[in-house]
Structures are given as structure tokens and as C-alpha cells.
Amino acid sequence: MRHAGPANYVAFSQDGKYLATGSDDKTACVWDPASGNEVTRMPHDGPVNRFTFSPDGGYLATVGNDNTARTWRWQPEDLTEEACARVNRNLTLAEWKLYLPDKPYRKTCPNLPEPEE
């Protein structure tokens, strides 16, 4: 689990399933420590030096040296749900190939119509 800069702060989620790190590279990351995979990355305008998971684990609050505090929905399924609530269609096959070239096409938002090519 690597950042581009030094990690300033680390903390486990309350259930111990995730590890958050804050770095001088202006990011906070959430990791799956069992696999070592990055789950999500959250940008800041300066180094990230403190954070905490909400009691239910659904949010991560971060504090940076730029004097900003932010709350983030960080779990992939929550991000997908939020994105689907804001758009009016699924990606076209051409858009999918552009943004997700290594993944097979699928309908991301089941409640939305298929796009016209």
C-alpha cells in the first residue's frame, strides 16, 4: 500500500476491515488490508493529516493542512448509487471503452435506460 508521498496518519475502520491513510501527496486513501488493494482515493488541496470513519463506516471525515475538513462517501457501492441518482442514462459502449477499457461492458445503473449509440 503506497502513496506518492509519506503517509502522515493511518487508522482502521471500526470493524477492522478497512485501513485509511493520509499523505503529503494531498490524498486520503482507503485500503482493503487483506488484499492490499486500494478501495478509493480522495483528493485534497494540501497534505492530509487526520481523519476518522463514521460509526457506521459509511463516511470518512478528512482534515488537511490546507485548513479544510471534508466528509466523503467512500464505499464503491455508495458512489455508484450517488452517481446513478445524478445521471439520466447509462454509458454508451463507446464511452465505456474510453473510460473503462479493461472491463467488460455492463449496465451500471439498472434503473436507467440503455443509451442510444
Q: What local confidence, expressed as pLDDT, does residue 117 receive?
A: 63
Domain-embedded: residue 116: no
d(CA 52, CA 12): 9
Q: Averaged over 9-18, what is the pLDDT?
A: 92
Question: What is the pTM assigned to this prediction?
Answer: 0.72
Q: What is the pLDDT of residues 67-112, one digit of tens each?
A: 888 999 988 888 888 889 999 899 888 999 999 899 999 888 888 8
Q: What local confidence, expressed as pLDDT, does residue 3 receive?
A: 78
Q: What is the CATH number of the domain that holds 60?
A: 2.40.10.480
Q: Are residues 30 and 69 in the same domain?
A: yes
Q: Are residues 15 and 55 in the same domain?
A: yes
User: Into how many domains does the chain fold?
Assistant: 2
How far is residue 77 from each of residues 29, 62, 102, measured CA to CA in Å? 16, 20, 20
What is the DSSP annotation of 13-38?
Answer: -TTSS-EEEEETTSEEEEEETTTTEE
By residue range, what is the domain housing residue 104? 75-110
Number of residues in the chain: 117
Q: Are residues 70 and 80 in the same domain?
A: no
Q: Are residues 13 and 62 in the same domain?
A: yes
Domain-embedded: residue 102: yes
